[in-house]
Structure formats: C-alpha cells, structure tokens
C-alpha cells in the first residue's frame, strides 16, 4: 500500500513514512493510492474478536510495510501492536459496546482512559509510531504537534506520555472546552508533555499548527508529526469500530450478512465519519453516512449546496468538541471525488478566499454517500432530556446532536436499514450541560459530576472520579500569533517546559 498527498500525486510514501510525517510537505493529507486491494474479509467477520478486527484493518491499510511485519505475517504483527495498545486500557474487552435505544443502536466509544472516542485511535498511534521509527531506522526525536477541540488532546497525552523518543505539544482554545476536558489535559505530568492554551478558537489553533508544519525550520535530529486525524495513523484505527458494530448487530440477530446499516456521526473535523467511509470502501455494507453538526453547521451547508464557506460566525456551543469551521479531513473526501489537482485548487481557494464550490457532478457523487443535518443548543439539551426521560439512557451533548439529527433524518428519509448512532464522549465530560438539560442544580462543573451521579446513578468513569483534585501541571498560554515562536523556542532552543 502506498500513500499519496491529497494535493500532489507525485508525493508518495510508504505507510510508515506517512505515519511518521503526519502531514505531507505540500500541506496535503496522506491517502491510500487505491482501495482496490483493500477488501476486508467480510465472510470471517462474525468469528473475529475485537482485536482481530482492528488488526485486520491495520494490516490491510498498511499492507507491505515493515512497520507491521512479523515472522508469522503482517496480521500477526498488527495484532501485537493492537494488543500492546488496548490490553488493560479500557473498562472491559468490549471497548465500544452497542446499546439499544428506541429503534436505533448507540455505539459507546467512550470507555477508554480519557472517556472519549479518540482513545481507540490514540492508544494505538504511539505503537504505530514506535514501530514505524524502528522499521525505518529513524533516530530522530519526534515532536507531536496537535491542536484539540477538547478530546484529542487528553487522549493523545494519555497515549504518548513518557513514550521514549517522542515529545508532545498540545494546543487548545482558551475558554473553548469544558472544565473537565481542560483538567484532564493540564494535570498530565508526563516529562515529555506540554499543554498550552491559545487565545482564539479551535480553527485558530489548528491553522497555527498547520502553519508550523509548513514553515518551522527544525534542528537536525528533530521531526514533527501529528496526533490529529490529519495523521493517517490516527484515522486508520477508527475504521475498525464500524466493522465491529456490524459484527455485533449480526450477533444480536438484528441483521444478517449483506444487510446495509446506517451510521449517524457527530463530527466537526470530519475524521470520524470519514473512517466510516473508508470502511465502506473496504467492503462494509453501509446504507447512509449521516453527518451531524451543531450550530457551526458548515458541513451541513456543504452537503446541501456544495459550497464550503468558512466566512461565517463562530459559535461556542454545548457540544464544544464540534465547534469547528475548517473540517480538515473533508480534504480526503474531495481527493477521492475529484483528484489531487482539483483538490489542491479547492484548498487554495479555502485559504485565500475562505470558500470553494464543487461542480454539480461532484456534489451528486458525494450526496449519494452522505447526508447531513444539524441542531442548535436548545435542541441539544432538549434531546438529552427527552432520551433520558423516554428511554432511561444518559448521553452527552455531542451524542445528543447526533441523536437529534438521526430523528430528523429518519422522519425525512427512512431507508429501512438499521441505524447506529456514534456516541463520542461520556456524559460526565460535559456534566454541567447534561445537568442543565435535566433541570438539576449544581455549584460548579466539577460539582455537576457528583450531582449527575446522585441524580441518575450512572457510573462515573474511574478516570473522572475526583478529577477536580488533580494538580494543575501546565499553566502556559499564548496568543494565536505566538504559536510559531513558542514551538520554535521549544524545539530549536531546547527550552522544554519544566
């Protein structure tokens, strides 16, 4: 398997090289050269364990690379990496259980160490990077540079903390994430970690990181990489849980092999739903992929009219991890639809004009695969309450966005297939918003965690118990135009934060 830049097909890398680089030198994202030989063995799916599925996905997407080599074969090598990543890291072996709620299933992706879906990928990415370094003979120190809208940061810090030969710098929008999310990050005490708040929103932080990748002059012996889903090593592991959900539905007797399944995904950066599209390209019988957005509904507008326009108001919402106006992974979908040359033109238009417009033919191709919808904060909180009161099921605000969009979509165009709604975070990560939705009182966001337990009896994840007592280790803050100088000081002048 070879990986090409979304902006230039002449930039070609082995999987290990793509994982180590994170982002191509021209600013493009790495994509498989082709999915023609990337078929998942669906006939074996019903007999596969969770780790079998993950290993199979990795061995397919990274086929032919020494990163996953093993004397017993690539599948065995991938299985070792998966085992090292997942064993003992999740609440139980079923890292993404399905819960029946009304007429749909909710796939709970928040049972990892930081209570968010990104744990599934960010426990495995360090294993992939370490294996890639070994297989390529790289001796350089890797500095992971990541912007987060709330969940990627804590998951990446959990995965990379104290990993040899790697340092990690995480930027997050000041006042743009929940207090629980912030405390998860700033309390990490790994010697190789740095957490820094940025004056601005997530798009400002993400743009700053991309600018650093493109323009920072690095000293000899240091390379940059990313833990965001712009890194194919972060995106690939997420493909597995779509196959896992399908297997679980078969085992539950809800579907038989070959039946199509819909997936509704709350997303801001478009990575999680793109993983579902990868699964479909690899042979998973997917009916419709429904993109769920909050009030920052740039993706909904794009899927409706083919115009991506970031020149709009930015809203801080009750689902902050989705407060994004520049959805980086959409570039990968554009590449699949229109090729590298046109994709590069669209990205140039987005940077220079703040928008681009697809042709009618390109939009028609995309709309055959995706649908989209959004809901505002009022609807989000109403959904948290209505689902809890009607079904006794407690969900966070991001999952509520997806559930609200699912209900609207199902009324509009029910295709008769079973539907899985992805739940991306524990309700305890956004306890104050959930308590507001349920009409309950609390004194602070941390108090809301305990009051939510008292009211619902839903188990508090172990990593969030008494989280307010965890000492703050990282207190650094910069403005968005200071990010380059900050990283330059860290990597060139070797002034790492104490």
Tens-place pLDDT, residues 314-335: 999 999 999 999 999 999 999 9
Q: What is the pLDDT of residue 242?
A: 98
Q: Flag whether pLDDT at 165 surpasses 80.
A: yes
Distances (CA, A) of 39 to 234, 243, 278: 20, 12, 10
User: pLDDT band at 17, cuts 50/70/90?
Assistant: very high
Residue range 451-478: average pLDDT? Answer: 95
User: Tokens 């992974």 correspond to what residue?
Assistant: 329
pLDDT more than 70, % of the chain:
99
* C-alpha neighbours within 13 Å on the C-beta side of residue 497: 21
DSSP string, 153-195: HHHHHHHHTT-TTEEEEEEEETTSS-HHHHHHHHT---TTEEE
Tokens of residue 276, six digits: 């579902």
Q: What is the pLDDT of residue 149?
A: 85
Q: What is the pLDDT of residue 494?
A: 66
Helix (H, G, I), strand (E, B) or coil at 306: coil
Minimal CA–CA distance to 437: which of 374, 402, 388? 388
Domains of the chain by start residue, with CATH: 98-115+233-460 (3.40.50.1100)
pLDDT tens digits, 32-72: 999 999 999 999 999 999 999 999 999 999 999 999 988 88
Residue range 173-192: average pLDDT? Answer: 92
* Residue with the larger pLDDT of the pair 297 and 74: 297
Instruction: Among 118-132, 150-164, 259-273, name the one with the lowest average pLDDT.
Output: 150-164
Distances (CA, A) of 289 to 38, 421, 423: 20, 10, 15
Q: Is 234 in contact with 125 (CB distance < 8 Å)?
A: yes
Q: Which spans in 225-322 are helix H?
A: 232-251, 271-281, 298-305
Q: How far apart are CA 441 and CA 244, in angstroms?
A: 38
Q: Which residues are catalytic?
A: 118
User: pLDDT band at 496, cuts 50/70/90?
Assistant: low
Residue 165: phi, psi to the nearest 5? 75, 10
Task: Measure CA of the first residue to CA of the last residue in the chain; give whole Å.
Answer: 41
Residue range 337-349: average pLDDT? Answer: 97
123 C-beta neighbours (distance < 10 Å), count: 24
Residue 484: phi, psi to the nearest 5? -60, -50
Q: What is the pLDDT of residue 495?
A: 64
Average pLDDT score over the chain: 94
Residue range 227-252: average pLDDT? Answer: 95
User: pLDDT band at 228, cuts 50/70/90?
Assistant: confident
75 C-beta neighbours (distance < 10 Å), count: 16
Q: Is 75 in contact with 59 (CB distance < 8 Å)?
A: yes
Helix (H, G, I), strand (E, B) or coil at 264: strand
Q: What is the pLDDT of residue 151?
A: 83
Q: Flag whether pLDDT at 498 surpasses 50.
A: no
Q: What is the pLDDT of residue 71?
A: 81
């Amino acid at each position: 398997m070879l990986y090409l830049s979304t902006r230039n097909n002449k930039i070609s890398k082995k999987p290990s090289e793509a994982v180590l680089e994170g982002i191509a030198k021209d600013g493009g994202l790495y994509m498989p050269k082709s999915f023609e030989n990337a078929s998942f063995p669906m006939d074996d799916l019903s007999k596969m364990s969770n780790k079998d599925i993950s290993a199979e996905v990795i061995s397919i997407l990274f086929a032919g690379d020494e990163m996953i080599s093993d004397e017993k074969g690539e599948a065995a090598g991938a299985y070792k990496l998966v085992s090292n990543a997942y064993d003992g890291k999740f609440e139980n072996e079923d890292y993404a259980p399905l819960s029946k709620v009304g007429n749909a299933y909710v796939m709970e992706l928040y049972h990892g160490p930081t209570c968010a879906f990104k744990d599934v990928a960010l426990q495995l990415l360090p294993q992939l990077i370490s294996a890639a370094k070994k297989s390529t003979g790289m001796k350089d120190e890797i500095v992971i540079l990541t912007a987060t809208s709330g969940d990627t940061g804590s998951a990446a810090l959990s995965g990379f903390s104290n990993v040899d030969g790697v340092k990690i710098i995480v930027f997050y929008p000041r006042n743009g994430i929940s207090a629980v999310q912030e405390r998860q990050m700033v309390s990490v005490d790994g010697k190789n970690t740095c957490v820094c708040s940025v004056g601005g929103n997530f798009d400002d932080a993400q743009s700053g990181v991309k600018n650093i990748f493109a323009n920072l002059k690095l000293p000899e012996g240091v390379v940059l990489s990313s833990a965001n889903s712009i890194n194919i090593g972060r995106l690939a592991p997420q493909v597995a849980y779509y196959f896992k959900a399908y297997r679980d539905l078969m085992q539950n007797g809800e579907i038989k092999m070959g039946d199509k399944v819909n997936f509704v995904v709350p997303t801001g950066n478009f990575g999680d739903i793109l993983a579902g599209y990868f699964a479909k390209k690899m042979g998973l019988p997917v009916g419709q992929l429904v993109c769920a957005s909050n009030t920052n509904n740039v993706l909904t507008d794009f899927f409706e009219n083919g115009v991506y326009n970031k020149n709009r108001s930015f809203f801080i919402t009750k689902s902050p991890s989705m407060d994004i106006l520049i959805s980086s992974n959409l570039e990968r979908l554009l590449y699949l639809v229109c090729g590298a040359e046109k994709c590069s033109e669209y990205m140039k238009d987005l940077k220079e004009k703040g928008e681009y417009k697809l042709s009618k033919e390109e939009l028609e191709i995309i709309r055959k695969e995706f649908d989209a919808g959004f809901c505002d904060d009022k609807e989000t909180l109403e959904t948290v309450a209505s689902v809890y009161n009607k079904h006794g099921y407690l969900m966070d605000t991001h999952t509520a966005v997806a559930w609200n969009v699912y209900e609207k979509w199902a009324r509009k165009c029910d295709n008769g297939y079973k539907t899985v709604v992805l739940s991306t975070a524990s309700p305890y990560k956004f306890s104050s918003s959930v308590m507001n939705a349920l009409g309950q009182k609390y004194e602070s966001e941390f108090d809301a965690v305990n009051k939510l337990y008292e009211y619902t009896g839903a188990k508090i994840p172990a990593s969030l118990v008494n989280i307010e007592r965890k000492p703050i280790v990282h207190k650094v803050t910069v403005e968005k135009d200071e990010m380059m100088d900050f990283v330059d000081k860290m990597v060139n002048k070797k002034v790492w934060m104490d």
